[in-house]
Amino acid sequence: MKIVILDDWFNTLSGLPCFKILSGYDVTVFKDHVNDIDELAKRLKPYDIIILFRDRTVISAPLIKQLPNLKLVSQRGDFAHVDIHSCTQQGILLCSETTNNLPPNSVAELTLALILAAMRKIPQQMANMRAGKWQLGVGKSLYGRTLGLYGYGRIAKLVEPYAECFGMKVIWWGSEAGRARAYNDGKIIPNSREDFFSSSDVVSLHVRLTSETRHIIKVADFDHTSLRTIFVNTARAGLVENGAILDALNSGRLGMAALDVFNEEPIYNANDPLLNHENVICTPHIGFVTEDEFELQFADVFKQVVGFICGKPFNVVNSQALKKRF
């Protein structure tokens, strides 16, 4: 069977130890990204198996209809970017390891790095030196500041001890169920959502993007922040109402934003208003982009491919497709 790996922009996967799992199979790796559905379909038409690089490519119904040879889509994690119904109708299996059994250290580490970079204005200080100048203003220490973690999940729980090592006080907010779990674990829960935003020197967002959580951070939430507040998002851009961050920055209701996620990715527009804002630190969705993380994740993805080829598929999301395929 012909296997294709999409969106491996830096040709990273072939250099990982786990790539040996696919040794002996016909594997093609594409390092670029194709948005046009017809162009993408023409590229993918010869292949039996698609390996997705997270959610970088959307597997939509119009695309699926043009891929008569496709038998398997293998990936890891959430699969909102894959049209499950269309896959099932075409007898295409989706295999995805969705259990949270991998420690999300890399995202938690980047979160802390962005907090530090924003507090000390590291990118701005670097740019100033490269312009032939010296110090640019005064930074802030993490010690004694308050970190507000929005979302009581695995990543936020890793960020908490990192922040506490620097002497930060940590408070929590999120869904009613999440707040209840945090409270039962002895965490600090403010009296209200408004108190959470107004009490936090740094607000860091750690929530999965679903239909229920989309735009969970409202424009009005920034009515309770100030110029001393830093907003960090290493989760998903869709969790924040469109334009809310820029509006808050430009109106003086937010001091800085440190962002690893954007509504449209990848961004190649050098004039993007967020990229060019003097009080925004941007990274190109690199929260999970470490060799260690890739090795853990893609070992599962590659094993799913081999299992399918050997007639023993596992981590099957749409088992009804099996009836059409086998």
- State how far the Cα of 108 lies from the Cα of 111, in Å rounded to an integer: 5
Is a pLDDT exceeding 90 seen at residue 78? no
Give 326's pLDDT tier (boundaries 50, 70, 90).
low
Percent of the chain with pLDDT strictly greater than 90: 88
Q: Which domains does the chain have, with CATH numbers?
A: 2-102+292-325 (3.40.50.720), 105-282 (3.40.50.720)
HSE on the CB side for 177, CA within 13 Å? 2
**Residue 185, phi then psi, degrees to nearest 5:** -90, 5
CA-based nearest residue to 304, from 33, 80, 99: 99
pLDDT digits (tens, 9 = 90+) for 79-110: 989 999 999 999 999 999 887 667 789 999 99
Q: Which residues pair with 202 in a beta bridge?
A: 147, 230
The alpha helices in 169-282, defined as continuous H runs, are: 176-184, 193-199, 244-250, 273-276
- Residues with catalytic roles: 236, 265, 285
How far apart, in Å, are the Cα atoms of 112 and each of 41, 94, 104, 116, 133? 40, 34, 13, 6, 27
Mean pLDDT confidence for 222-247: 98
Mean pLDDT confidence for 289-293: 90
Contact residues for 85 (Cβ-Cβ < 8 A; gap 6+): 61
- State how far the Cα of 81 lies from the Cα of 269, in Å rounded to an integer: 23
HSE on the CB side for 257, CA within 13 Å? 31
Which has the minimum average pLDDT: 5-9, 113-117, 197-201?
A: 5-9
How far apart, in Å, are the Cα atoms of 158 and each of 141, 143, 234, 284? 20, 18, 13, 22
- State how far the Cα of 135 lies from the Cα of 153, in Å rounded to an integer: 38
Token pair listed for 326: 């086998």
- State how far the Cα of 299 lies from the Cα of 312, in Å rounded to an integer: 17
Contact residues for 57 (Cβ-Cβ < 8 A; gap 6+): 6, 7, 33, 34, 40, 81
Q: What is the pLDDT of residue 99?
A: 75
Which has the minimum average pLDDT: 85-94, 199-208, 260-269?
A: 260-269
pLDDT digits (tens, 9 = 90+) for 144-163: 999 999 999 999 999 999 99
Is a pLDDT exceeding 70 seen at residue 325? no
Q: What is the pLDDT of residue 80?
A: 87
CA-based nearest residue to 71, from 303, 304, 298: 304
Average pLDDT score, the chain? 95
